[in-house]
Structure 1
């Protein structure tokens, strides 16, 4: 049997919008025959102000019908029932009885299609607002004669808007949910974006068997998932269905930032478009040899000549002094600005609370750290999360740390190493651009000082990486403005505050715990001609 949420409601929404237009006729100065036609909806002539108010209410309800709001169904039921009572009481013409009975029967038949029930918080807010407006109107009865009417009109619209609004944003996932997601992230075969599901500002929805999950946030009525579901590949499509069902129940518009190509069919019938590529390096095929890698070799050599050394250590094993010094580097690197990001950035930098986090540290010739990069693991994959470099640090230190991490990944069986995100790579990489593409390229070039799209792409390109396309998934082109506002806010606004950290000791796994990874305790200078190693990338201020 088809899901009631998938059955069409457009005819009822169109009929409600038509009623709104008929109700508004008395306020438009239309010909008399249209006034008579409007009586089909009103039953009696209305004053212009009342016609405008009722028409606006019907317009809001029509939109609510289109969005499958249960409150819209209740509103139509109440309006039709009021019309029936007026006819039965002799206040309206008897000829209106058959159409009103037919409308009532149609509404009852369609009741299961309205799956978005009013959220209790919205109902309570509407009750409080109604009580306040009633009190205000009572107080103003002795004042200007038009004030109570205007207040009542505005109040009714506010109440209808509140009741038709989607559910408010939920709180972030609790510690138990995040511990379960941490186990799913640690599974072999996890996506390179899986660790970022552990951000403490994300809420979770799980597949029915609990073997896959999606981390998301709600902003401006958009429920935005960060990347693909994490966990068992066989349960990921079920997690997608659970997420979409949740959006239908709550009235949120579903979206995904960073969806992988393989799972795009599971998001149907939602729309999608590619917005860039994830930059990945496979350690087994990486080498510094050859002319194409000359720039990276030279960058690494510069750091060696400057006396820079490096090491890789588990984030949980950082000493208090080293942690404080690295946080100082991070603060100076950002100029005091807050951390940003959502789909391809983790939070709680250097706290040691995220399982499997590794820190590559570069030390200056006089000893103190001058740069670091944090990497997070998921199964065999390693993903660059944060890149911080103190002002005045030698050029090439980022390349050094990336090369070090690629070597570490090769030694410890990690593959691939995800370095960065190249937004709009196809546009930046194109030589023969059309006129629209030229305009888009110029816009990106102008914005580069703010979001570093082109400079980051050129940095990535030095390492001869592979690219994994990533897409934005959304419901409708009508949502594009709201979607853009939500994505920009999620990626660039300061993170919201959450509760206490989750894990400080062992990493949770199925059936128990396992120790955190040991530090890669090797300090080395840049001139060491050892095995080929991987490159670094400058921090992207956008999606990663």
Structure 2
């Protein structure tokens, strides 16, 4: 056993001094304080909305406020007993809740100097003698303090074109509302001898308040309803100007050539995961990649809603990074985040990031290994297929890259001619283009009648290496009934020639409602919901899409709408309707129209 070394022979190492403990305040506490201060500013503005509306409706309360504003009293910030102030406070509450930086600056520039004036007034008689003035100054001061404490929470940026639009709206709106208001005051004035200058002054003062402020114009005495209408006109104009100032930006550059190259690389490696993955290549979308570049979320900004569709592309483990980047982009621009048509797997990942889910419907997927025309359940489809085939119709199936350019141009022209309406519909489950050189792996089905006249076409996009997803369905309105069923069946029977094992057909919205609502024992709420959807199916083909897909005995895969707040669902619904082509916004003047930056064209060879 080796002898132990003596401690006398061991060199002494000086003891290291322990680092001094530092006292630091937790960042989480600071963050909570900032968030509470920012929330307090929103609730203050909401309170002013209620108080101003009550003051307009309640005569005693309105007179009390007017007395304070007109005498030796003053009221808190935005408490003027006018519809204009109510509208302003309501709009500011909305944009402040979205944490827009411009709204924070606007409030500080208004409330800050006002609070300074209140403090200065309290040093003089007779203002400091009234307790209500001290209360008004305190409330205004607390609002300013909350603005300063929560300043870092308001980081959402606006659109660069907002000042130009605000100037145009403000100039035009003020002239129009002032002209209409002056004309109304002129027609309803009870006193003779008023000049045009008096009527304009009365109109502008009434636009600020319906109180005694405009009573200083002695030559005008208009009815009460005139005052209210003038106030509403000016308030609406001011509200439009604020909207122009604070509206969210539209998205920067759309899908660029380099972005599309990266997305196609992700589809090559992970395209089999989602049947809607190829639709991420729409060039009216933007893209956000994860920090590793292994996943991406594509989206389009419509009406202040950042509308993504389908599942994120790429590696499942990198999805959270892409989702975080997309949500951060939405917060930075005050966009409302939403996802259309996410699968259950993607919905679960999105839910971990704070989004809630609502089932939209189901996607019909046909597994070719289980598909057959035999059996009683397929009798209707079998009969339609046989009838159209006996009528002499034939189907030709090719990849887009196999079609000559001249022939593809004719197919595109026919597809446009057969389109129902002038608007190209589709966003979440449509590619939005036909015959593009970059889409050579797409599949085209051409149907001709017995006289070799083109009658219909179907186009499918790739779903990984062994799947197809329906993109485009067009037909001549004078063709044989059951032609679409005939073409779909021909594809399903001959899909092995293309190496295809599964086909995704149309999306059936609210399919479960129609299926469960018709069963024995369905509850009254479900039956009522089914009746409502059946009624609207007369115009929007909700039930007919379900019935058309159910013929093929598919596997139903649910698809979900994902959102952050339930109150955003109406706004998301409007944005989705616009994106899908069901609603068209009014055309804006060239001065105020926003445009995306032009991105380079993709010129991959076919």
CA distance in 1, matches of 2:99, 2:574: 23
The equivalences for 1:289-304 within 5 A come to: 289-304=374-389
Alignment of 1:167 with 2:253, yes or no, is: no
TM-aligned CA deviation for residue 318 of structure 1: 1.9
Distance 1:385 1:136 in 2: 47
The separation in 2 between residues aligned to 1:335 and 1:126, in whole angstroms, is 38
2:279 aligned partner: 196
State the distance in 1 between where 2:599 and 2:43 align: 49
* Paired position in structure 1 for 2:464: 379
* Alignment partner of 1:44 out of 67, 74, 97: 74
Q: Is 2:40–2:146's contact at 8 Å kept on the other side of the alignment?
A: no
Are the aligned partners of 1:23 and 1:38 in contact in 2 as well (CA < 8 Å)? no
Greater shift, 249-258 or 156-165, is seen at 156-165
Deviations 1:149-199 (A, max 9, x none): 356754654443333332235453233323322332333334101111222
Tell me by how many angstroms 1:385 deviates.
Answer: 0.8
Given candidates 409, 412, 417, the residue that maps to 2:503 is 417
TM-aligned CA distance change 1:35 to 1:462, over 3 Å: closer
Tell me which moved more, 13-22 or 232-241.
13-22
Residues 500, 359 of structure 1: alpha-carbon distance in 2 compared, 3 angstrom cutoff:
farther
Q: 1:391 maps to what in 2?
A: 477
Report the more deviating stretch, 283-292 or 22-31: 22-31
1:149 and 2:205 correspond = yes
SS in 1 for 2:269: coil
Compared CA separation, residues 275 and 377, structure 1 to 2 (3 A): same
Distance apart, 1:114 and its partner CA: 1.5
Greater Rg over alpha carbons, structure = 2
Q: State how far apart, in whole Å, the 1-side matches of 2:363 and 2:532 are.
A: 21
Which residue matches 1:521? none
**Is 2:136 the partner of 1:106?**
no
SS of 1:160's equivalent? helix
Distance 1:30 1:371, change over 3 A: same
Which shows bigger deviation, 113-122 or 250-259?
113-122
Q: Does 1:309 align with 2:394?
A: yes
Distance 1:172 1:149, change over 3 A: farther
Task: Map 1:438-517 onto structure 2 (within 5 A).
Answer: 438-493=527-582, 502-506=601-605
Deviates more, 1:217-226 or 1:176-185: 176-185
Deviation string, structure 1 residues 246-267 (Cα, Å, up to 9, x no partner):
1111111111110111121332
Superposition map of 1:220-259 within 5 A: 220-259=303-342
Change (3 A) 1:59 1:503: closer
Structure 1 residue 80, shift from structure 2 partner: 3.6
Higher relative contact order (CA 8 A, sep 6+): 1
Q: In the superposition, relative to structure 1, how do residues 504 and 406 fare at CA in structure 2: closer, same or farther (>3 Å)? A: farther
- Which of 338, 348, 371 is 2:433 aligned to? 348
Change beyond 3 A, Cα 1:84–1:456? closer
CA-to-partner distance for each residue in 1:103-146, whole Å, 9 max, x for gaps? 44433221122232333322443356567789999999946222
RMSD: 3.8
Q: What is the SS of the residue equivalent to 2:59?
A: coil
Partner of 1:219: 302
Corresponding residue to 2:258 among 163, 167, 176: 176
Residue equivalent to 2:45: 16
Cα distance between partner residues in 2 of 1:313 and 1:137: 61
1:426-449 per-residue CA deviation (whole Å, 9 max, x = no partner) reads 111122333333333333333334
Query: Taking structure 1 as reference, are residues 501 and 493 closer, same or farther at Cα in structure 2, changes over 3 Å only?
Result: farther
Alignment deviations for residues 436-463 of structure 1 (CA, whole Å, 9 cap, x no partner): 3333333333333432222222221121
- Note if contact 1:353-1:501 (Cα within 8 Å) is conserved in structure 2: no
- Report if aligned partners of 1:354, 1:503 keep a CA contact under 8 Å in 2: no
Paired residues, what number? 504
TM-score under structure 2 normalisation? 0.72
SS in 2 for 1:473: strand
Structure 2: 5+ residue runs without aligned partners?
A: 1-26, 129-133, 183-195, 209-233, 586-594
In 1, Cα distance between equivalents of 2:583 and 2:66:
57
| Counterpart for residue 217 of structure 2 | none
Residue of structure 2 in register with 1:525 after alignment:
none
Deviation readout 1:67-117 (Å, 9 max, x if unpaired): 222233223323342134214544665646666555444332211222323
Say if 2:436 is the partner of 1:364: no
Aligned CA distance change for structure 1 residues 89 and 170 (closer, same or farther; 3 Å): same
Kindly state the Cα deviation for residue 491 of structure 1 after the two structures are TM-superposed.
1.8
Distance 2:525 2:177 in 1: 55
Offset, 1:423: 1.4
Measured after TM superposition, the shift of residue 229 of structure 1 is 1.4
Alignment CA distance shift 1:331-1:166 (3 Å): closer
- 1:180 and 1:420 map into 2 onto residues whose CA distance is 28
Preserved contact between residue 298 and residue 312 of structure 2 (Cα < 8 Å): yes
TM-score, normalising length: structure 1: 0.80
**What is the CA distance between 1:277 and its match in structure 2?**
0.3
> Given that residues 459 and 473 in structure 2 are in contact (C-alpha distance below 8 angstroms), is that contact kept between their aligned partners in structure 1?
yes
Rounded Cα–Cα distance in structure 2 between residues aligned with 1:292 and 1:54? 65
Cα pair 1:280 1:417 within 8 Å, conserved: yes
Distance in 2 separating the partners of 1:459 and 1:500? 39
1:471 CA displacement: 1.0
Q: Does the aligned pair in 1 maintain the 2:441–2:461 contact within 8 Å?
A: yes
- 2:330 aligned counterpart, secondary structure: helix
Q: C-alpha separation between the residues in 1 aligned to 2:114 and 2:455?
A: 76
Aligned residue for 1:117? 157
The change in CA–CA distance for 1:407 and 1:101 in structure 2 (over 3 A counts) is same
SS at match of 2:381: helix
